[in-house]
Structure 1
Amino acid sequence: MTQAHLTPTPGRPAQGRRVRVIPTLLIDRDGRLVKTVKFGKRTYIGDPINAVRIFNTKEVDELVLIDIDASADGREPPYTRIAEIASEAFMPVAYGGGLVTEDQIARSIDCGVEKVILSGALAQGTDLISIAARRWGGQAVTVCLPVGHNWRGRQQVRLRQGKKPLKNDLDTVVARVTEAGAGEIIVYAIDRDGTWEGYDTDLCARVAAATSLPVVACGGAGQVAHFREAVAGAGCDAVAAGSLFIYQGKGRGVLISYPAQDRLRTQLYAHLP
């Protein structure tokens, strides 16, 4: 199992603690590991279980596993695949994709995941967040907010592969998710996904300022310095990334990897406020 890390002060990074650095694994409707760019173009990577086995050797804090087709297809989560992947992981796994009922959450947790990630269910409001938080505790409920822009250039939460915008503005959504009892929020910048350009720190800071919950930056990480910008500069409590942990570099081949703890200590932890 991974080394223990100190409990964060909700909503802000605590001085001297280890920040969670989380690989994000995306699977498609066939259970294959894929990588996207701006929620569009997909590249087939391989078997997610092979990636998990490599991460087992790297002192990874936790894994995020998302079925990117389940909600769009209107189907159940792939319980067998979830159980296969969770059983291989030596670290906590958070699963998201196709979770719109309490029973689906229960079955996913029975598959061995420690957290569920709710996103598509927001189309129906925040009731499911409250139900899940009451039954399993807020620490088991993460909400992912994929954020893009509307035709006016305003930021908005966009569900189902970025194609379904919510009517409420971003700050209202964040407030309602917080009030509903979620344990943390993943801010997934659609326009940065797979670009290696760095996190949308303005977006991350906006969400961090609007909630008392821990905020996880996602979308765009291309180097460890981007982690530092999200935490020290934007007030995030954790960082998640896909391409950085899957490819050798931008435009280069697949190489499942994770920064060594010595590198994280010198390039990330040592620079935190």
Structure 2
Amino acid sequence: MLRSRIIPCLLVRNKGLVKTVQFKEGKYVGDPINAVKIFNEKEVDELIVLDIDATKEGREPDFKMIENLANESRMPLCYGGGVKTVEHAKKIIHLGAEKVALSSAVIANPNLVTEIAKAVGVQSVIVVLDVKKKGLFGKYQVYTHNGTKSTGKDPKELAKQFEALGAGEIVVNSIDNDGIMKGYDGKLIDMIRSAINLPMTVLGGAGTLDDIKGIIKKYKVIGVAAGSLFVFKGKYKAVLINYPNREEIKELLK
């Protein structure tokens, strides 16, 4: 029986683990391999790792780091950052990741979704839509290159397009809510969820387990991802890798 997934999302910069606020700053919070080891012990559902500067800097994926992460991970691993070709995707899957996260490359060339899905399987193709409100009326737009370039494209229409092209899952990431820890963007989630039938994961804004519970209660089977919630603890945001225990998960899934 399918159930909602509760997913830590780790951001990597210069091989270090960082946490951003609205895609800016970037506080160093540790070594990603150590974080993976801790999440292994906590029996995490799934893990998303994103190299946030690879595309912006024109780099290809850090295959050695991916190999190290995949070798250490005892949970399904999704990796994104700098993936531009079918060959990149195939190599990432070959190294042991279960999923490949795509963004700027498939927005520039949507048919790449179909090509990669044929090469590695639909279930391994994840499209990440980084979304921000823009303009006087707060219209949602998709951004790329770590939130620095507006595509001018509507996230709802892009989600529908990528579903038709063969994506296996859509990750909707709110730039406005990133690192704020005051809850998810319900309006954005509603808009995308109503437009597609694909598995969907939401990211950006979780501050408490109640935020996660609210999303699961409303949308039933959905991926609920968080960054700050799982790397910080307490009022002063001390760095502490954490994840709900089994009893807490049962409560979240009620």
Q: Does 1:39 align with 2:23?
A: yes
Amino acid at match of 1:122: V
The answer to whether the aligner puts 1:108 opposite 2:108 as a matched pair is no
Determine the structure 1 residue equivalent to 2:102. Answer: 118
Tell me how far 1:168 sits from its aligned partner: 2.8
* Residue number among 231, 242, 246 corresponding to 1:261 in the alignment: 246
What does residue range 172-211 of structure 1 map to in structure 2 within 5 Å? Answer: 172-211=157-196
The residue that corresponds to 1:171 in the other structure is 156
Per the alignment, residue 93 of structure 1 pairs with 77
**Contact 1:201–1:234 (8 Å) recurs in 2:** no
Aligned to 1:192, what secondary structure does the other structure show? coil
The TM-score, its normalising length taken from structure 1, stands at: 0.89
1:224–1:264 contact (8 Å) kept in structure 2: no
Q: Distance in 2 between matches of 1:234 and 1:162?
A: 27
8 Å Cα contact 1:204-1:236 kept in structure 2: no
Letter in 2 for 1:76: E
Offset of 1:41 from its aligned partner?
1.2
Q: Quick one: structure 1 residues 220 and 105, their matched pair in 2 at CA, closer, same or farther if it must change by over 3 Å? A: same
Would you say how many aligned residue pairs link Structure 1 and Structure 2?
253
2:68 corresponds to 1:84: yes
Compare 158-167 and 232-241 and name the one that shifted more.
Answer: 232-241
Question: What is the distance in 1 between the residues matched to 2:240 and 2:153?
Answer: 40
Amino acid in structure 2 at the alignment position of 1:241: A
SS in 1 for 2:91: helix
TM-score of the superposition, structure 2-length normalised? Answer: 0.96
Long gaps (5+) in structure 1: 1-5, 8-17
* Alpha-carbon distance in 2 for matches of 1:148, 1:64: 20
CA shift, 1:233, in A, is 2.5
Give the SS at the match of 1:191: coil
Tell me how far apart the structure 2 counterparts of residues 62 and 150 of structure 1 sit (CA, whole Å). 32
Write out aligned runs for 1:1-273 (5 A).
6-7=1-2, 18-28=3-13, 30-152=14-136, 153-234=138-219, 237-266=222-251, 268-270=252-254
DSSP 3-state at the match of 2:70: helix
Higher strand share: 2
Distance 2:196 2:236 in 1: 36
How big is the shift at 1:235? 6.0
CA contact (8 A) 2:168 2:198 kept: yes
Cα drift, residue 45 of structure 1? 0.8
Q: Distance in 1 between matches of 2:156 and 2:202?
A: 16
Shift of 1:220: 0.7
User: Which secondary structure does the structure 2 equivalent of 1:128 belong to?
Assistant: helix
Letter in 2 for 1:218: L
Q: Give SS of 1:66's match.
A: strand
Secondary structure of 2:176's match? helix
- Report the Cα offset of residue 162 of structure 1: 1.1
* One-letter amino acid matched to 1:255: L
State the identity as a percent. Answer: 42
Kept after mapping to 2: 8 A contact 1:37/1:195: yes
Cα offset, 1:250, TM superposition: 4.5
**TM-align CA RMSD:** 1.3
Correspondence for 1:14: none
Structure-2 separation of matches of 1:202 and 1:233: 13
Q: Deviations over 1:223-248 (max 9, x none)?
A: 11111222223566110001111011
| Cα distance in 2 for residues equivalent to 1:202 and 1:174 | 15
